[in-house]
Amino acid sequence: MLRGDSLVQLRRQDVTVAPDGIVIRIRVKTRGRTVATTVHRPNCDEVYNLIRDWIEDFQAPDSALLFTIDTSDSAFFPSSCLGRWFQEACDFLNLSPPVGELWSGHSHRSGGATGALSIDASLPAIARFGVWDNMASVQPYLDPSVGPTPAALLFFDHLLKPSLEQARTDLQQLRANASYSDVLLAA
């Protein structure tokens, strides 16, 4: 769901792997490239494991770009390259957009936001994870007619709020074992 032009500028030092999750400090054009925004991917599934393994196997200095092409001058590729790779992958898989639609390198952003919405992630959670500055800017990326899929759940389950049932159970336990002031202090 992140912007392709921001991802091509990621360096090894921008990604931290911790036991509880992965922290990515990403710079986006809407906030100015000098300000980093933190995006967190919790340790909860195969996506975390894949990113963790990739970062741990990355054999380069912390200042090295994560996405590079092995050339003599080590130049990084432009964000337009993502659109070309996306189209080549779709062609290889014989995938094409529905009639009247257009897929581009930016389609992953809309697909991610729509996928997260399809499993009932909140708009603030989608906007925060996709690093949109405001709700009005995320709206065009959302298609509310798309239903949930296993893939959407795999990639965006971490954006869902935990069930209130656990919080209710914890509150009942606190009430049973403590005074009213202890319950308020726990909040």
Alpha-carbon distance of 93 to 109, in angstroms, equals 20
Burial class (CB in 10 A: 0-12, 13-18, 19+), 31: middle
* Mean confidence (pLDDT) of the chain: 82
1-77 folds as: hpI Integrase; Chain A (1.10.443)
Output the pTM of the full model: 0.71
What pLDDT, on a 0 to 100 scale, did the predictor assign at position 77?
59
Helix (H) or strand (E) holding 15: strand 15-18
What pLDDT, on a 0 to 100 scale, did the predictor assign at position 146?
93
Backbone dihedral angles phi then psi of residue 41, each to the nearest 5 degrees? -115, 110
pLDDT tens digits for range 96-148 = 887 887 777 778 888 999 999 999 999 999 998 888 888 899 999 999 999 99
Quick one: pLDDT band at residue 32, thresholds 50, 70, 90?
low
Domain ranges for the chain, please list them: 1-77, 78-187
Alpha-carbon distance of 79 to 165, in angstroms, equals 44
> Would you call 16 helix, strand, or coil by DSSP?
strand
